[in-house]
Amino acid sequence: MGLSEELLTGIQEIDEQHETLFNILEKLQGVVEGGDNWSVVYFALSELVQFARSHFVLEEALMRLHGYPDLEQHIAEHRAFSARLAQLEEQAIRQDVSLHIIEFIKQWLMNHIGGSDQSYVPCLRTMPIV
């Protein structure tokens, strides 16, 4: 897909993970649009949920390491989105995943990466990323 300029942080590992999130979301969209079996949809959504959780752990660890002052607010955003993703996983079990849900996830990611994530970049750039 390639991240747009406004979504790039300039931190390679984070940018690569953001790209992976969008690639998984694109795969999920493809299986929903293709009318695939509900289990294929469920596993694609589960892959997104698991990767997002892992990504959030990395981001939060880096912010903590660098003393990012708005860490708690950022964690709260991650937790709220993770809770919503868990609800969507439950919907997928009931075979209820639509393009509307995919658009919600896409918009959340774009808004979060383009806003909240951009806010921590100056802090993380004060020291080398380990």
Q: What digits encode the pLDDT tens for the residues 53-92?
A: 999 999 999 999 999 999 999 999 999 999 999 999 888 8
User: What mean pLDDT do residues 108-116 have?
Assistant: 97
User: What kind of fold does domain 23-124 have according to CATH?
Assistant: Four Helix Bundle (Hemerythrin (Met), subunit A) (1.20.120)
Closest CA to 8 of 104, 113, 105, 129: 113
Which pLDDT score, from 0 to 100, does residue 50 have?
A: 97
- pLDDT above 90 for 94: no
Q: What digits encode the pLDDT tens for the residues 14-62?
A: 999 999 999 999 999 999 999 878 888 899 999 999 999 999 999 999 9
Scan for tokens 């607010």, then name that residue.
73
Number of CB atoms found within 10 A of residue 27's CB:
13
